[in-house]
């Protein structure tokens, strides 16, 4: 299925969102390794306990088709759930692309799969892995900055306000957007998100996040994963800086658990019936394969 590009203000974040997940997994490990010298970002994605997205009769077969293409090098991936499932090779741009969308299209051509495959782990569960290289990462950051600014300006032009910030913070956001301020920054090998934020707004955001975690286990899993990756929140006056700094291995780690998704072997069986190559590897061996140059 091919998808149109979303509006310009969401060009980078939501180019090819799916309506539902093609497959599910019990957990996911994602690492980001900025390489400032080559202006690239290396992204490793490891899916553990891969299984069908539902108990529908055709779910395992459809999931097996997607996983087989992914393992063969298709630029298709999921981060956490369906709302972050992207298939970059299914891109069908409209005839009247905006300038921001044109830049997004050009940037996407520089995203390549360096390594991918399937495996069965030490717990006899199906898994998959991918390693992406995102070229011209600085251009991607500028694209994200411009998309963020466009979103703020579009909301302001419509007389609306971002629902998660107070009036003072929203005023500061508009000032930053009008001044062309940057939101996403690469400082050495540390990725930062910088945004005006009053102390009251920060407290409200944290309160809302905790409440969401208590009400929805899946939300808690995503929030905890992001907190693990976050190394510092620095507040200077009315500016908050969220820093994601690499660990000793030079990578930013994001580990996501899906407590509601229970592994079942039907998708693996469908792959084996289709004679797909599946290696038997322990987790450490998979990581070594991902990181081998």
Contacts of 1 (CB under 8 A, 6+ apart): 90
Q: For residue 20, what pLDDT is reported?
A: 65
Do 25 and 49 form a contact (C-beta atoms < 8 A)?
yes
Contacts 24+ apart (CB under 8 A), 166-171: 166/198, 166/200, 166/201, 166/204, 168/198, 168/200, 168/201, 168/238, 169/196, 169/197, 169/198, 169/201, 169/238
Q: What is the mean pLDDT of each run of 10 residues along the chain (293 residues)?
A: 40 48 90 95 95 86 92 92 83 82 91 94 92 96 94 91 84 95 95 93 84 74 86 93 95 89 89 86 81 74
C-alpha–C-alpha distance, residues 144 and 30, integer Å: 20
Q: For residue 283, what pLDDT is reported?
A: 77
Q: For residue 16, what pLDDT is reported?
A: 47
Please report the beta strands in 65-188, taking only residues with DSSP state E, as ranges in sequence order: 76-79, 81-87, 111-120, 126-135, 184-187
**Residue 260 in 3-state DSSP?**
coil
**Residue 2 in 3-state DSSP?**
coil
Do 100 and 146 form a contact (C-beta atoms < 8 A)?
yes
Q: For residue 44, what pLDDT is reported?
A: 96
pTM: 0.88
Q: For residue 4, what pLDDT is reported?
A: 37
**pLDDT digits 0-9 by tens, 133-173:** 999 999 999 999 999 999 999 999 999 887 778 899 999 99
Q: Are strands 126-135 and 111-120 parallel, antiparallel or unpaired?
A: antiparallel
Q: For residue 189, what pLDDT is reported?
A: 94
């Amino acid at each position: 299925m091919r998808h149109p590009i979303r509006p310009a203000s969401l060009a980078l974040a939501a180019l090819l969102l799916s309506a539902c997940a093609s497959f599910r997994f019990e957990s996911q490990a994602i690492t980001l390794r900025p390489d400032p010298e080559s202006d690239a970002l290396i992204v490793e994605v490891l899916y553990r306990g891969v299984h069908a997205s539902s108990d529908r009769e055709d779910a395992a077969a459809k999931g097996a088709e997607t996983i087989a293409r992914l393992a063969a090098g298709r630029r298709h991936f999921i981060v956490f759930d369906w709302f972050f499932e992207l298939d970059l090779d299914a891109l069908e741009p409209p005839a009247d692309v905006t300038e921001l969308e044109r830049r997004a299209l050009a940037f996407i051509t520089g995203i390549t799969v360096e390594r991918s495959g399937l495996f069965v782990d030490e717990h006899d569960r199906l898994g998959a892995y991918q390693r992406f290289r995102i070229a011209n990462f600085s251009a991607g950051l500028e694209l994200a900055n411009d998309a963020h600014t466009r979103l703020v300006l579009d909301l302001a032009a419509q007389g609306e306000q971002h629902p998660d910030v107070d009036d003072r913070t929203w005023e500061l956001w508009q000032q930053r957007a009008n001044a062309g301020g940057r939101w996403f920054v690469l400082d050495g090998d540390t990725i930062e998100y910088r945004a005006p934020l009053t102390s009251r707004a920060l407290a409200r955001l944290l309160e809302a996040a905790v409440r969401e975690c208590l009400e929805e286990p899946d939300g808690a899993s995503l929030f905890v994963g992001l907190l693990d990756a976050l190394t510092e929140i620095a507040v200077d006056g009315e500016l908050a800086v969220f820093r994601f700094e690499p660990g000793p291995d030079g990578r930013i780690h994001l580990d996501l658990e899906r407590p509601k998704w229970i592994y079942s072997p039907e998708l693996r069986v469908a792959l084996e019936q289709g004679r797909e190559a599946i290696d038997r590897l322990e987790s450490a061996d998979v990581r070594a394969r991902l990181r081998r140059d």
